[in-house]
A and B are shown apart, each in its own frame.
Chain A
């Protein structure tokens, strides 16, 4: 059965689509009961933010692909200096993105990665 062409689509639909949308639907059902100024929503906001930031920090600390072989100090340094520049520039997101990307690009080039 697993040799049929449509089997892969079944795997994607069950192990991908259903596996992700279950949580989105549960989010709607939970969020529908939360009041915009409630304490519970404050907690949900905190959990959502901490989750997203944990995923984000892991992208920098444990990258896959091309960056996997680059030094940790370069990645953290580029991200940290970019964030600092963003704070100094009145929280302009573009400043962070351009600074970090250029620093990392120059760093990789200089190290010959």
Chain B
């Protein structure tokens, strides 16, 4: 479980300290905040739910807002499942393990799974994913109600840890050119779409941007590379 003291895990823990403070301010009780952490796990979905509940929104409206923000889970899980399973892995096990997928665990999986022998990959992911969830649940339990002890300069700078970590680690682990293209398009399209279509921005940027990246790689870059290597072979 060395993964749990790694840089991404530590960064995520600071985010959960922030979530504890946010939940406290929004009038969520300690046990409700704990239940949210273990049952929802993904931090953006929790923040949205807390915000909606604090504003007194109807349960159906809460469901809609959270579920729209969580569609990204589907391609995230789908992209690591083929690497995680072997022929004997039962589907129920993958369904259970998928609960522990959120951005940090996803990045960890695409970084490390390839170095683990295939028959141990589900165990490896379970060890990291479940420990990470339980550790952060404990953090919420302990830190709930502690006054924001950080001065704004420090809490502001700490807030920056998460996005910068994602930027660097996802680029560093990109093994396919199409992933790098999708990375660049996503970074640009995310904020742009937020201005144009604030409700579905991430979906447009993700599905549209990812598709453009795939098409460019498949029909522009790959044929060109193939043509070049073809010419090289003839010489």
A residues bordering B, Cβ < 8 Å? 8-32, 34-36, 39, 41-67, 70, 75, 78-79, 82-83, 86, 91, 93-97, 100-102, 104-105, 108-109, 113
With a cutoff of 8 Å between Cβ atoms, the chain B residues found around residue A25 in the complex are: 95, 98
Whole-angstrom CA separation of A66 from B172 in the bound complex:
29
Residue of B whose beta carbon sits closest to that of A102: B157
Whole-angstrom CA separation of A9 from B53 in the bound complex:
11
A97's contact among B11, B60, B174, B179, by CB below 8 Å, is which?
B11
With a cutoff of 8 Å between Cβ atoms, the chain A residues found around residue B187 in the complex are: 53-54, 56-57
Residue of B whose beta carbon sits closest to that of A7: B59
Cβ B62 vs Cβ A46 within 8 A = no
B206's contact among A23, A47, A65, A66, by CB below 8 Å, is which?
A47
With a cutoff of 8 Å between Cβ atoms, the chain A residues found around residue B165 in the complex are: 93, 96-97
Given A9-B32, A47-B206, A79-B163, the answer on whether A15 and B66 have CB atoms closer than 8 Å is: yes
Cβ B202 vs Cβ A51 within 8 A = yes
Could you jot down 15 A-B contacts, CB within 8 Å?
A12-B35, A12-B36, A23-B71, A24-B98, A42-B218, A50-B183, A54-B190, A55-B190, A59-B163, A63-B159, A67-B156, A93-B168, A96-B164, A97-B7, A105-B153
Whole-angstrom CA separation of A75 from B167 in the bound complex:
14
B172's contact among A42, A56, A91, by CB below 8 Å, is which?
A91
With a cutoff of 8 Å between Cβ atoms, the chain A residues found around residue B182 in the complex are: 45-47, 49-50, 53
Whole-angstrom CA separation of A57 from B79 in the bound complex:
21
Cβ A27 vs Cβ B42 within 8 A = no
Given A54-B193, A57-B187, the answer on whether A23 and B156 have CB atoms closer than 8 Å is: no
* Interchain residue pairs A-B with the least CB separation, the first 4: A27-B77, A31-B81, A54-B190, A53-B186
Whole-angstrom CA separation of A18 from B204 in the bound complex:
23
With a cutoff of 8 Å between Cβ atoms, the chain B residues found around residue A51 in the complex are: 72, 75-76, 186, 202-203, 205-207, 210
